[in-house]
Amino acid sequence: DTGVSQDPRHKITKRGQNVTFRCDPISEHNRLYWYRQTLGQGPEFLTYFQNEAQLEKSRLLSDRFSAERPKGSFSTLEIQRTEQGDSAMYLCASRYSTGELFFGEGSRLTVL
């Protein structure tokens, strides 16, 4: 499968714990995006990378959130000291410069 891959697909954690999500984009895509989606809402933009550079961050991305794309390939999104309000689907997407955005299946986080 050469699509966008996300891991894990589901994560249940206790409040206060740290979690990390990984995204492997389509190999030739230089742009990588993270979105968050809560029930009944459209995806909300969090951040995007062009190669390894993080070019834009949403105000939604609090200090507890950090994203990296160290070699311009895969990316990680870490949430520190999780809160119940962080429960959501975290979606990764990639594209090559211009054109359509391809999404992964998402990582669903539940914070107890």
Partner 1 sequence: DAKTTQPPSMDCAEGRAANLPCNHSTISGNEYVYWYRQIHSQGPQYIIHGLKNNETNEMASLIITEDRKSSTLILPHATLRDTAVYYCIGLSGGQNFVFGPGTRLSVLP
- Which amino acid is it at 75? S
| Minimum distance from residue 37 beta carbon to partner 1 (Å) | 8
Other CB atoms within 10 A of residue 46 CB: 21
Q: Which residue, 21 or 48, has its beta carbon nearer to partner 1?
A: 48
Name, in order, each residue with C-beta under 8 angstroms of 103's C-beta and a sequence gap of 6 or more. Answer: 4, 91, 92, 93
Measured between alpha carbons, how far is 36 from 87 in angstroms, rounded to an integer? 9
Rg (CA), the chain: 13
Applying CB under 8 A, the span of 18-26, 43-51, 60-68, 69-77 interacting with partner 1 comes to 43-51
Q: Contact with partner 1 (CB under 8 A): which of 21, 34, 48, 65?
A: 48
Q: Which residue, 7 or 80, has its beta carbon nearer to partner 1?
A: 7
The reply on whether position 100 binds partner 1 by CB under 8 A is yes
The answer to whether 69 and 92 have CB atoms below 8 angstroms apart is no
In 3D space, the residue among 22, 26, 38 whose CA is nearest the CA of residue 88 turns out to be 38
Q: Contact with partner 1 (CB under 8 A): which of 21, 43, 65, 88?
A: 43
Q: Contact with partner 1 (CB under 8 A): which of 44, 54, 73, 87?
A: 44
Applying CB under 8 A, the residues found at the interface with partner 1 are 4, 31, 33, 35, 40-45, 48, 50, 55-56, 91, 93, 100-106
